[in-house]
Amino acid sequence: MKRRKFLQDLISTATAMAAAPAVEARVAQKTGIRYLRPPGSLDEAKFVSRCIRCGQCGEACPNRCIKFFGTENGFSSYGTPYITPREQACILCMKCGDVCPTGAIQSITREAETILDSVAMGKARVNESLCLSYQGKSCGVCYRACPLPDIAIKVGWMEQPHVQDACVGCGLCERSCIQIPQAIRVIPNHSL
């Protein structure tokens, strides 16, 4: 009886270990890189399988914020578009979704309601020990940079930013933060 139990365990463990790489491989690579997908992107694993790496999103981007991975984020995301908000953030013009042929980036009309409904790149998070407004020097730059002020971000009496749930994660606040390192940064949805 003991031997049978042992054999059962052995077989189930071996099966699980054999199946793991195949399952693992379909999940997008997790590296330490913090990046955003363009607005309207599907969730990460689906995005990687949909995207054909044609580069049209980057070509359509008037703000030149969309860059493309080499192999630094794993081979499965080779050639896929990403945004580093501190370098250049998304202005939510929604042109990338219009040109995407595969629907990896969904086409979304450029209106506040539809953007709030459908765009979920990430969510901004404030580091209160770095933020000037929380140190008594009222700043409010992130609030003024936000394309959805009072919806995505609200400020207190000393301009302390309070990120709301409606934040879509475009990264313009992080782009414009005057602190070095930035006191507000977008946490991408695929790494939440």
Partner 1 sequence: MKPHIRHLNKLRWISLTGIFLVLILLPCISVYQAYVAAHAYDLLTPSEQLFYDVMETLTDPFVSDPEHDLDAVKGTTWAATVFDVKVSDPLAVVGQVSAGLEIYPSFLLAALIPVIVTLMFGRIFCGWICPATLLYELNTNLAAWLHRVGLPVGNRHFDRRLKYLVLGIGVILSMITGSVLFAAVYPPAIIGREIYYAIALGGFGAGAVFFVLTLLFDLLVARRGFCRYVCPGGALYSLLGRYRVLRIQRKVETCNDCAKCTAVCEFELNPMRDGFGQECNNCTACIAVCPTDALVFKVDIKDIPNQGPGHLGRHYRENEY
Q: Are 177 and 170 in contact (CB under 8 A)?
A: no
In angstroms, the CA 28 to CA 43 distance is 10
Q: Are 165 and 148 in contact (CB under 8 A)?
A: no
- Is 61 or 152 the residue whose CB approaches partner 1 more closely? 61
What is the closest distance, in whole angstroms, from the C-beta atom of residue 93 to partner 1 in the complex? 9
Residue closest to 66 by CA, chosen among 44, 35, 43, 42: 35
Rule CB under 8 A: say whether 172 interacts with partner 1. no
Q: Are 86 and 175 in contact (CB under 8 A)?
A: yes
Label the pairing between strands 66-68 and 161-163: unpaired
Segment contacting partner 1 (CB under 8 A): 2-10, 41-49, 111-119, 165-173? 41-49
38, 39, 40, 48: residue in contact with partner 1 (rule CB under 8 A): 48
Rule CB under 8 A: say whether 106 interacts with partner 1. no
What is the closest distance, in whole angstroms, from the C-beta atom of residue 49 to partner 1 in the complex? 4
Q: Are 39 and 105 in contact (CB under 8 A)?
A: yes
Beta bridge partners of 82: 67
Segment contacting partner 1 (CB under 8 A): 72-80, 126-134, 139-147, 150-158? 72-80
Q: How many residues of this chain bind partner 1 (CB under 8 A)?
A: 35
Segment contacting partner 1 (CB under 8 A): 1-9, 64-72, 113-121, 180-188? 64-72
**How is residue 105 annotated by DSSP?**
B
Secondary structure tally for the chain: helices H, strands E: 7, 6
Rule CB under 8 A: say whether 187 interacts with partner 1. no
What is the closest distance, in whole angstroms, from the C-beta atom of residue 162 to partner 1 in the complex? 31
Contacts with partner 1 by CB under 8 A lie at: 22, 25-26, 45-46, 48-56, 58-64, 67-68, 70-71, 75-79, 95, 99, 101-103
